[in-house]
Amino acid sequence: MSERVGTVKWINGPVIRAEGSRHVGMMELVEVGEEHLIGEVIGLNGSMITIQVYEETSGMHPGAPVFGTGLPLSVELGPGLLRSIFDGIQRPLPVIEMRTGSFISRGVHLTPLYRKDRWEFTPVMKEGTVVTGGEVIGTVPETPSIEHRVMIPPDVSGTVTWVAPAKAYTIVEPIARVKTTDGEKELTMLQRWPIRRLRPYKTRLDQSIPLITGQRVLDTFFPLGKGGAAAIPGGFGAGKTVTQHSIAKYADAQVVIYIGCGERGNEMTEVLQEFPELIDPRSGHPLMERTVLIANTSNMPVAAREASVYTGITIAEYYRDMGYHVALMADSTSRWAEALREVSGRLEEMPAEEGYPAYLAARLAEFYERAGYVHTLSGEDGSVSIIGAVSPPGGDFSEPVTQHTKRFIRCFWALDKSLASARHFPSINWLDSYSEYLDDVAPWWHKATNQNWIGMRNKAMELLSEESRLSQIVKLVGPDALPDEQRLVLETSRLLREGFLQQNAMDTIDAYSTVQKQIGMLALMLYFHDRAHDIIKMGATISVIHKLPVVDTLIRMKTQIPNDKLSMIDEIHEAIDAQMTQLEADYK
Amino acid sequence: MSELVDRGGQEVVGVSRIEGPILVIENAGNLGYDEVVEVIDSTGHMRRGRILEVSEKMAVIQIFSGTTGLSIDGTKVRIQGSTLKIPVAEEMLGRVFDGLGTPIDGGPVPLTNHFADINGQPINPTSRVYPRDYIQTGISVIDGMNSLVMGQKLPLFSGAGLPHDQLAAQIVRQATLGAPAGADAKHAEDFAIVFAAMGVKHDVANYFKNSFAESGALARVAMFLNLADDPPVERLITPRAALTLAEYLAFEKGMHVLVVLTDMTNYCEALRQISNIRGEVPSRKGYPGYLYSDLASMYERTGRVKTSKGSITQIPILTMPNDDITHPVPDLTGYITEGQIVLGRTLYQHGIYPPISVLPSLSRLMKDGIGEGQTREDHPHLMAQLYAAYAHVQDVRSLASVIGEEELGDVDQKYLAFGKAFEGKYISQSFTENRNIEQTLNIGWELLGLLPKEELTRVSLAEIEKYYKGI
């Protein structure tokens, strides 16, 4: 397949220049040296070809051959993606382990999807049907939780002349033939798609359904719409990874793509060992059954790190096209931006800010715009939501990656180091974060809970921002100088902070809250506030309120009320009533 | 690879430029990227270098031991045809090497035919074993609040003049395999220590050597020394050489290896120097844009793999310039390592040893190494409660500095007392004091007794029932 197209002239880390054929295309996949290291053409100048190599180039010398493939860098799509772990250019890591042991060697050529597995194929289309790209030909039970819908490739249309009968096939065996204007095409379950090109869809839809994550601070305060994009910026130790893991575990997406991009090896191992054991509360099957992992850890070749986010998003779009809701986590987009910077630096391009190339913003925009809630070619609705972690140097949000990212996302979950230091997790700062999806998803909340979610959410936010203002005063004069009414704001805010916003990912009950539990808890706290407010107006002091036993109940209810025993919320409501009414009697 | 070996032994001439530790040679022939070469000056003296960039017409070579005495004419470059490899053997324990792995203790070169590439290869994430076994260091703040786990990389962030060396020496001396509270902690049977010094002073190296000798561990220690007056470029090799030996001991010989790297700031400065001379586009504070990847290529050589019972635990030490934790070196380190232990100057000035700043310190792997079966069931909540309470102490202290201690409310007064006791009894312990996990946990509860029960919202009611003794 591959023919020699050039000769290496210059080597600098992952970037090499070769001289050769003028027929090599931009973004073409090439193989470099006797070991056939995988690379991609990133620049052409006359007969000079600039290539970024996805593997370590140590030991390569000028004169080494370069082979062309005529194809752009692509991913393989088909049954077998779920439950897999790939590197940045979709090589299956478990197979690499079988080949080269515990350490990853170079020049390993593997097909991403295993060719010999047989998948039970059931056709849903009859011969003679006129089809266009994206339509579903048949289905395969890929995992107990996900039915894989085999689709006509987006660029194929015509009349179906043959469909394979229901039986188990490998992904390379023909399952249909389509007569197109260019002749008859044979289709298999295996398809390829270039990673840098977005997969087509019919139309984009509004993002009016929230992606429920079970994390109270996210769902109730800063919701992300399905098909939207969110960023989690935070310095080291602020809790990005823990938050990303929680979302990957509990988000109500049907498929989760987790990209470990330039991060720690042990973290990927944690996901790998934990996810097969954790049970998805919705499907009842292990979480791994709906997950694809892409691991390009910080010590793996830097150029493949750049490719890893595209590999991930292409797989995400593929499942979206089947009509699924997909959540994609990229941890961390800063490492991806740094990979761009490193390659750019070695190309001696003129840097813009902090050494980053001038096209940084354009690349970020391209990536985040691949999120969306769409009407697919197959006629279903599906979505890709992107949640990108950002690692600003020194925790300083004014750096280029955070700033540019902010322009292309609508949901900003700002992590706060001082909250993390006090072990307030998830350490999402409620004053710095924002979500532009509030009004979009409000109707959904009202329908799901039958309560005035937006009103309660705004009331709670008002209390929290009032607390922030009051605590400035407290820092100067002490809390005793404040009137009791204002001290009640501090007390209710404490309840909200400790009892609602804080959520313990290690606690079996607290780790996940349904929307009904979330809104129930919030309603209780606000009800407590209103009752207490009335009593203080009657002349009670804050210390009396503070000593009510129900205060402790409100703080601890997150770990006491299981999601399936929400009647306990009513009991607490009665307890508030009883204790408050007794107090009222004292002050009447 | 056979045709690479064939090129070995060829000599090329044609040096065109020498600047600092960098030498540029023309007509480079077929040098390979990242390969090691021997550079011979006009007197026949040999030094080693490494190829940083190569094209058909020229190659950029970084000389490890400096370019003093090299001339444009009369310098020859001999091709080795391979990347830098060092011999690795179990017999290297108990020995002292220079920054490139050559013995400097007067003993012979290790007799082995096992040579390993100093750059190593990335561990496949699917081959890793997630670290879960905690290491008892006998230091309360670490064991109780930032537990070290076997296979973790946990750096010490320090500043000039702070006792990071003592702390590292104490950890090395006291580290034992963790056991549940009440049981005896055992020493690992097959343990080894690999110590790499980059640009540290002679006395620091001696301090560690003496401390290893006093604890009777010297025969299990391999030292790689690049001292302050050694060539800076050599520093880029030292930690890699040390980790190459560590990987051999851990993954081939099944040992539990503790690697101490000091001082990473000096390493990064050497990297910046080379980057500067090569005219690369700098990112922050003049450090090259690939500093993160470069550091990761060392820090990530930590952990456990399925095929071996051994482990590598790393304790890199770095001094934060001007105590600034946002400086690129600690910043990028913190993004790669699994937490950090931060030393604080104020605590040290108050006479507290070890002066570990609790709030910015963190151990990411702690959550799976503690709790029921590993330490004690109350440990995770107790830790969170101590963190939360001590964080509140900081707020109370700043309030007290404005309105005066007398004006504080009752509860806040109690927090002040808690803060003082926490620093005096929990953080503070002597250089020779080795507390077991049970002692550490019990001191924690004793201190929480200073606070009213209603304030303890992070611990469960059952735990309060069992352990809380209010005063």
**Interface touch B33/A12, C-beta < 8 Å:** yes
Q: How far is the CA of A309 from the CAs of A113, A328, B256, in angstroms?
A: 19, 10, 36
Chain B contact for A509 (CB, 8 A cutoff): no
Q: Would strands B256-262 and B311-319 be described as parallel, antiparallel, or unpaired?
A: parallel
Q: Do A424 and B31 touch (CB under 8 A)?
A: no
Determine how β-strand A203-205 pairs with β-strand A325-331: unpaired
Query: Which of A58, A341, A506 faces B34 most closely, judged by CB atoms?
Result: A58
Q: Which residues 391-450 on chain A approach chain B with CB closer than 8 angstroms? A: 391, 393-396, 417-418, 420-424
A48: contact with B, CB 8 A cutoff: no
Which residue from A69, A17, A66 is spatially nearest to A46, judged by alpha carbons? A17
Q: How far is A268 from chain B (nearest CA, A)?
A: 6
Residues 6+ apart with CB under 8 A from B189: none
- Nearest CB to A60: which of B32, B296, B409? B32
Residue B29, pLDDT > 80, answer no
Sheet of A167-169, strands arranged across? A147-151, A136-141, A119-123, A167-169
Contact status of A552 with chain B (Cβ, < 8 Å): yes
User: Which residue from A61, A302, A396 is facing B30, i.e. has the nearest CB?
Assistant: A61
User: Treating both helix axes as pointing N-terminal to C-terminal, what angle do B238-247 and B291-299 enclose, rounded to 10 degrees?
Assistant: 30
Q: What is the pLDDT of residue B186?
A: 66
Residues on chain A touching B152 (C-beta within 8 angstroms) = 266
The structure tokens listed for A43 are 């620049």
pLDDT in tens, A340-390: 998 888 888 888 888 899 999 999 999 999 999 999 999 999 999 999 999
Identify all chain B residues contacting A354, using CB atoms and an 8 Å cutoff. 283-284
- The reported pLDDT for the residue numbered A2 is 74
Residue of chain A with shortest Cα separation from B398: A475
User: Tell me, what's the pLDDT at B188?
Assistant: 61
Q: Are B225 and B99 in contact (CB under 8 A)?
A: yes
Strand, helix or coil for residue B279: coil
> For a pLDDT cut of 70, what percent of chain B falls above it?
97
**Predicted pLDDT at B334:** 93
| pLDDT band at B3; cut points 50, 70, 90 | very low
Mean pLDDT of B93-122: 92
Cβ of A237 within 8 Å of Cβ of B403? The answer is: no
pLDDT for B9: 73
Is B256:B273 a contact under the CB 8 Å cutoff? no
A66 bridge partner residues:
A6, A32
DSSP A404-437: HHHHH-SEE--B-HHHHHTT-SS-B-TTT-EETT
For A502, name the nearest residue in chain B, comparing CA atoms only.
Answer: B458
Tens of pLDDT along B202-222? Answer: 999 999 999 999 988 889 999
DSSP state of A501: I
In this predicted structure, the answer to whether residue B467 has a pLDDT above a threshold of 80 is yes
* Nearest-CB residue to B289 (from A85, A297, A355): A355
pLDDT at B30 over 80: no
| A/B interface, count of CB pairs below 8 Å | 231
Mean pLDDT of chain B: 91
Taking contacts as CB-CB distances below 8 angstroms, the residues of chain A near B336 are 264, 298
Q: Which of residues 465-484 of A touch B (CB under 8 A)?
A: 474-480
Contact flag A506-B380 (C-beta cutoff 8 Å): yes
Q: What is the pLDDT of residues B169-207, one digit of tens each?
A: 999 999 988 878 777 666 667 889 999 999 999 999 999
Residues B382-403: what's their mean pLDDT?
93
Instruction: State what percent of residues in chain B have pLDDT above 90.
Output: 72
Show residues of chain A in contact with B123, CB under 8 Å.
Answer: 102-104, 265
Q: Rg of chain B over CA atoms, in angstroms?
A: 25
Residue of A8, A269, A397, A494 to mutate, testing the B interface (most B Cβ within 10 Å of its Cβ): A269
Q: Is B359:B387 a contact under the CB 8 Å cutoff?
A: yes
B221-227 sheet: strands from edge to edge: B96-98, B221-227, B191-200, B256-262, B311-319, B156-158, B339-343, B356-363
pLDDT tens digits along B278-313: 888 888 889 998 999 999 999 999 999 999 999 999
What are the helix (H) ranges across A287-412?
302-321, 333-346, 360-368, 400-408
Mean local confidence (pLDDT), A131-150: 95
Enumerate residues 75 to 94 of chain A having a beta carbon within 8 A of any beta carbon in chain B. Answer: 85, 93-94
pLDDT, average across residues A559-580: 95
Nearest CB partner across the interface for B30, out of A63, A273, A298 = A63
Q: How confident is the model at residue B6 (pLDDT cuts 50, 70, 90)?
A: low
Chain B partners within 8 Å of A101 (Cβ):
127, 307
User: For B80-89, B179-188, B312-321, which range has the lowest pLDDT when averaged over its residues?
Assistant: B179-188
DSSP A376-388: -TTS-EEEEEEEE
What's the confidence (pLDDT) of residue A506? 85
| Integer Cα distance of B319 and B162 in angstroms | 9
Chain A positions touching B338 (Cβ under 8 A) are 264, 266
Interchain CB contact of A97 with B (< 8 Å): yes
Range from A25-29, A236-240, B61-65, B424-428 that averages highest in pLDDT: B424-428
Q: Confirm or reject contact between A306 and chain B (CB < 8 A).
A: no
What's the pLDDT score for residue B279? 85
Does residue A104 carry a pLDDT above 60? yes
Most A CBs within 10 Å: which of B1, B33, B118, B396, as the mutation test of the A interface?
B33
Query: In whole angstroms, what is the distance from residue B99 CA to residue B103 CA?
Result: 9
A105: closest chain B residue by CA: B121
- Can you tell me the distance from the alpha carbon of A153 to that of A418, in angstroms, rounded to the nearest whole number? 50
Q: Each residue of B228-265: pLDDT tens digit?
A: 999 888 999 999 999 999 999 999 999 999 999 999 99
Contact (CB<8Å) B407/A478: yes
Take residue A482 and report the two structure tokens written for it. 């404040």
CB contact under 8 A, A302 and B293: yes
A61 lies within 8 A of chain B by CB: yes
Strands A411-412 and A85-86: unpaired
C-alpha–C-alpha distance, residues A397 and A232, integer Å: 11
In the predicted structure, residue A1 carries a pLDDT above the cut 70: no
DSSP letters spanning B241-274: HHHHHHHIIIIIT--EEEEEEE-HHHHHHHHHHH
- Answer whether residue B2 shows pLDDT above 50: no
Question: Minimal Cα distance from A10: which residue of B?
Answer: B55
| B336: nearest CB among A101, A298, A418 | A298
The chain-wide mean pLDDT, for chain A, equals: 93
Specify the pairing of strand A37-45 against strand A130-131.
unpaired
What's the pLDDT at A147?
96
- Which ipTM did the prediction report? 0.89
